Structure 1
Amino acid sequence: MEEKELILLLKQSSKDAFTALYKQYWKQVYNFSRLYLTSVDAAEEVVQEVFIKVWETREFLRADDHFKGLLFIITRNLIFNQHRKSLNEDFYKVTVLAALEEPYDVEEEIEANNLQEYIDRLIDELPPRRREIFNLSRKEQKSYKEIALLLDISEKTVENQISEALKYLKKNITLLLLFI
């Protein structure tokens, strides 16, 4: 049976067409995966995920499209996602290990607390509306749009108030650091 016919049948949820396409292409997808993945298990997992995606999106397939090309695009994307996930996990592990190896510095902790108290005092010195907007943004993690809706002001006003608050804080923190 021709590939186009198989794709048309696959679009109609034919398991036989899916099996035929799988048998025809799984080895090529696997070999392509092995070029970028060192683990046999990881490559086999990618092959499974590729064909799961094909099954899940079968109704969007077009018989005129280059099916093999589609498989390799899906495979490439899955490999990139797997690499990205692996890099993030490795970075997390290295960060945790580095943190465990660093000695705990009580003086540094006290200095950090003092700086935080100083910043809190500076925030308290802001004009009331600016302080409210700044706290909604930084402490409550609200977006400019959410703040604008909540306070019935424009997003541009929110942006300007945050900008002015940050300028004030930076100026005063810089002055503090100059005298330390």
Structure 2
Amino acid sequence: MVEPTGNTEKALLVLASAGDVVAFSSLFHLHKHKLFSYLLALTESQMLAEDIVQDVFLKLWNEHESLTGIENFGNYIFRMSKNHAINHFRRMAHETLIISEMFQADPTHNQTEDFIALQETEKILAEIIDKLPAQQKAIYHLSRHEGRSHEEIAALLKISPHTVRNHIVQAMSTIRTHLIRHSEIFLILALTASFKK
């Protein structure tokens, strides 16, 4: 791959900002491999790295009129990608915490409405987890319920920590997608919680 010169890249940015799909595609092909390698090292997930590369360039295209204002395109997209990865892991950690709290909540501390919502949520979560692929379900259980590290799970199942992480990312993505469909339950929990404060 030929490295772009500053002038070449600037010319492509000017064309892309005017809506030139070919120029934008050239920018994508000039940077995608380095960006993917960086994200793969950062996330240890091929699927997640590919998703972030696509998300970053989709966002750039949706805002292509502002491309000419970018001084160093390479640095800019690496910063964007890093922020995407950080936000993903923050979101995942938050979701894991919510799920963990729901499973560990003490029903005796809830009012009747809260208890019914909690029971329904736990039922939905159990159904989602039960439908995960066998290895993914086993890894999720070892990680979230037994508190084992990626390295411990990898040694136990004779797979790589990278594979463990991929399975957890995929499991969380599946859980998130299904829970969005049942968001009214979270709304009930949030409303009842707000009345207690």
Bin of the TM-score, shorter chain as denominator length? 0.5 to 0.7
Where do 5+ consecutive residues of structure 1 fail to align?
110-137, 140-180
Structure-1 separation of matches of 2:81 and 2:107: 44
Where do 5+ consecutive residues of structure 2 fail to align?
113-193
User: Does the CA-based 8 Å contact 2:70-2:76 persist in structure 1?
Assistant: no
Structure-2 separation of matches of 1:105 and 1:96: 13
Pairing 1:53–2:59 present: yes
Aligned counterparts, 1:24-103, within 5 A: 24-62=30-68, 65-99=71-105, 102=106
Higher relative contact order (CA 8 A, sep 6+): 2
Structure-1 separation of matches of 2:63 and 2:76: 12
User: Does the CA-based 8 Å contact 1:8-1:63 persist in structure 2?
Assistant: no
User: Does the CA-based 8 Å contact 1:4-1:63 persist in structure 2?
Assistant: no
Letter in 2 for 1:13: G
Cα-Cα RMSD? 2.8
In the superposition, the TM-score normalised over structure 2's length comes to 0.50
Work out which of the two has the higher radius of gyration on C-alpha atoms and give 1 or 2. 1
Aligned counterparts, 1:14-29, within 5 A: 14-29=20-35
List, as ranges, runs of 4+ consecutive aligned residues in structure 1 with deviation greater than 2 Å. Answer: 102-106
Number of matched pairs: 109
- Tell me the residue number matched to 1:104: 108
- 1:103: how far off? 6.3
Structure-1 separation of matches of 2:107 and 2:70: 63
SS in 1 for 2:68: coil
